[in-house]
Amino acid sequence: MNANEALKKLADGNRRFVDGRPTHPHQKPERRAITSSAQQPFAQVLTCSDSRVVPEILFDTGIGDIFVLRVAGNIVDDAVLGSLEYGAAHLNIPLIVVLGHTRCGAVTAAVEGADTGDHITALVESLLPAVEASRSKPGDPVENAVRANVFLETEILRQSEPTLAKLWETRAIQVVGAVYDIGTGEVEWLDLDRSTPE
Ligand SMILES: [Zn+2]
């Protein structure tokens, strides 16, 4: 499967989920048996830990389909990069999706400048560039920062040396951004360079 096919598969799955007619593929014992010796997921998804944002469900996928990383604010750190590198370079997964979401608590904390004096502060600090980048934009500051964060992270992944940048430049991988609406269930694909799906 190439990146465009993977993107379409995710978009189709999200459409089924939104319409209330999911097929819950690949969740039976046979699938467990088939995938027990090796995995061959078709997409990587970096998203938030928020309990309302569940990639396997919102893309209507199953066991062995998507390689998922979840961390509050879907921020990129070295552990995330290493995981994505493994997926891209060793599992040959053609697509990376950075999936932000509406009403993100981590982004809200960053917009409000929360300083809790613990590790949450460090997490929030890594979201400040997105808050800064979207500060002058009209509209809701949290939703703007969510989008800016997805955009910035997508750029970080595309430029990440040595592995992801090389795969991106040689078009071996596609890196796209999207925002999940926790109310409607819809995934909005962001119009980024080389990332416009059907
Ligand atoms: Zn969140």
Residue 116 lies in a domain: yes
Burial of 172 (0-12, 13-18, 19+ CB in 10 A): middle
CATH number of the domain within which 18 lies: 3.40.1050.10
pLDDT at 195: 46
Structural domain contains residue 100: yes
What is the predicted pLDDT for the residue at 198? 31
CA of 48 to the centre of ligand 1 (A): 5
Tens digit of pLDDT at every position of the chain (198 positions): 999 999 999 999 999 999 999 999 999 999 999 999 999 999 999 999 999 999 999 999 999 999 999 999 999 999 999 999 999 999 999 999 999 999 999 999 999 997 888 999 999 999 999 999 999 999 999 999 999 999 999 999 999 999 999 999 999 999 999 999 999 999 999 976 654 333
H/E segment holding residue 6: helix 3-18
Ligand 1 centroid to 138 CA: how many Å? 21
pLDDT at site 191: 76
162 CA to centre of ligand 1 in angstroms: 28
Q: How far is the CA of 29 from the centre of ligand 1 (A)?
A: 32
Q: What is the count of structural domains for the chain?
A: 1
Q: Which pLDDT score, from 0 to 100, does residue 78 have?
A: 96
Residues spanned by the domain of 174? 3-189
**Rounded-to-integer distance, Cα 157 and Cα 149, Å:** 12
What's the 50 CA to ligand 1 centre distance in angstroms?
5
- Ligand 1 center to residue 105 CA distance, Å? 5
- On whether residue 66 sits in a domain, the answer given is yes
Residue 183: per-residue pLDDT: 98
Q: What is the pLDDT of residue 117?
A: 86
Look at residue 91 in the predicted model and tell me its pLDDT: 98
